Amino acid sequence: MRILLVEDEAKTRQFIRRGLSENGYAVDAADTGAQALELAFANLYDLIILDVMLPPPDGWRVLTTLREAGSEVPVLFLTARDAVEDRVRGLDLGADDYLVKPFAFSELLARVRTLTRRRGQAAPQLLRVADLELDLMRRRAFRAGVAIDLTAREFSLLWLLMRCSGEVLSRAVIAEKVWDMNFDSDTNVVDVSVRRLRRKVDTPFDTSLIHTVRGMGYVIESRASES
């Protein structure tokens, strides 16, 4: 799941971004309304967390611009403005939820789960590659009916590979989508994580599904042997 976080207060932005990333979400961050619109129109997001009080355009205008352009991405307003008229205004403009600062991160996370689940109701809730299944609703994985214990990051990595089944994903793409970072050729974080995922998804079973494509990256698909 990919989230756009729009928050101009640096400490709050870093706190939310870190918490969401630790829970398996890929997070892009913006600190102005202009940057938020640029990112929102350039990428596909499952959710936008949007502060109201931003360097122009403010959150109201950002949401209005998105809705006028036909965007249906869920928007969660996160703001210190707690007046009833502000909440009503946000909802009338097309916001899907409204959370007032200060907040408990656990509540924010619960609202994020609810909105992204609602967003995904029209999309498949179960991904399959051969005998491997990924239950997006319950965030659980099974192979040949056997439950696989995954960390939040491993779940995100497997989700990305399975969503793009049959498509070779470069290390740069994986790093961006799963770790929300630019790929550094000196780091082996992607290779190490794929190796750990393979130990859980492939090693205990007769056939491998996660394959290395030399010089290109990784792909998940059903075939006789690994490249």
Q: Which pLDDT value is given to residue 16? A: 95
Among all chains, which residue has been given the structure tokens 């040949």? 144
On whether the CB atoms of residues 152 and 23 are closer than 8 A, the answer is: yes
The domains of the chain are located at 2-121, 126-220
- How far apart are the C-alpha atoms of 29 and 14, rounded to whole Å? 9
Average of pLDDT values for 7-25?
91
Question: What residues does 132 pair with on adjacent strands?
Answer: 129, 143
pLDDT in tens, 185-224: 567 889 999 999 999 999 999 999 999 999 899 999 997 6
On whether the CB atoms of residues 164 and 112 are closer than 8 A, the answer is: no
2-121 adopts what CATH topology? Rossmann fold (3.40.50)
On whether the CB atoms of residues 196 and 205 are closer than 8 A, the answer is: no
Q: Which pLDDT value is given to residue 185? A: 58
The CATH code of domain 126-220 reads 1.10.10.10
* pLDDT, greater one: 127 or 122: 127
Average of pLDDT values for 125-144?
88
Averaged confidence pLDDT in the chain: 87
Mean pLDDT lowest for which of 59-63, 111-115, 119-123, 193-197?
119-123
* pLDDT, greater one: 5 or 139: 5
pLDDT in tens, 149-168: 999 889 989 988 998 899 99
